[in-house]
Structure 1
């Protein structure tokens, strides 16, 4: 496939679902003025935009100003739906602590050098020994048992030097029947409760809104977007996406540094 402005689908999209990093957001972390203007026009036309991201709430908030009054956010790979307009949770789908601890223990038995961190409603917690460089300090640093004391939105496993795709494949063999395992960048496993993906949560949200999958257009760039791109009636991989995503999506959009999402939406909706 190549970036193109193919003819509009039989149904004009009623909802837009887009990943953030590597998709809507540029490499420098910004949202361009052009993309912001297209999203604002969608809001004026009552077309809801749903940010569907692996980012936790605390990090996704940085771009909530662009989602519009009709906007919603699915964060931490489907573990939470956040209503941006009311600034409150709409749905939580957490991993129970005993399941998270069992999964972490199984992974560590096979890969002793793996280190864990977790995202919860309260924030980010890390296992002792995990070096982090985030702007926001973790709310807790402790033993594996201590950071897994309550419900977990996302369990993350880091193994420096590992090949990301191979790391995921090994983890799926070990715990794939118990939890969902994916990744979105460097060798960092992103683990959610069984059945919790960007797609499954988006499907639940769309059912509440009375919107069918055939009326959804979705955009993504990394393996954690694959379920969503498969589910949506029309899907776009970014031009610089992971090869598996390019193979999966219906069409190809220009790259994220070239305002690919906004360019496609302008064409599809005749903006």
Structure 2
């Protein structure tokens, strides 16, 4: 059921692999090789070493970092898809994730195909300091490169998408889509309330609230997401609509031949 709870319609978190399987035709795609970066550039340590946190996240998710890129077909059309996995250190944006987004954008320009990103993040990766924050302008320049090539850039905001990711590539899409109930914002609601000293309205920073106030374009149920993305890609690339598969021909009824009663008698045994 694509990780949607039937009774409440609550959209559970999806891993990067599960997301890619749900988008590409026949659950088949090419994994895009991503550039290697320095694992712990600042030799950072808080309660634990940053290098140990990275090792644990890799063992937990099977990913090298928070973003996975795939290239394949969506309803017959070639697309590049980037997926952020929140289970990898909260989907935080560090150097490796920034390089992944830039590489995906470069590949989309190279293949002349749309670029789709599924954002899920708590923000910039603080263990990488200013090197993490530098990914905001880098990814923004990458999006501009795609825009200059006149190729579609579609963003799907999932729960949650916050911090530096919201402040960069996650809010620059040609079409901004969100899953139902997704938390989307920059600073947390508690910080905002303390800053403005006012009570925030119900549903603040949720997908439906942002749609009603013009910050995103549409809220799409996960079951409808794949055809919606395919339709938008066709629209923005001026591609012809996909022809529906031909219906199978109705079986022709052939009347049974009339056999004389004498012919229906059993044949005599052979000598």
Asked if these proteins are the same fold (TM beyond 0.5), I'd say no
Higher Rg of the two aligned structures? 2
* TM-score (norm: length of structure 1): 0.38
**TM-score, length-scaled by structure 2:** 0.38
Larger fraction in strand:
1
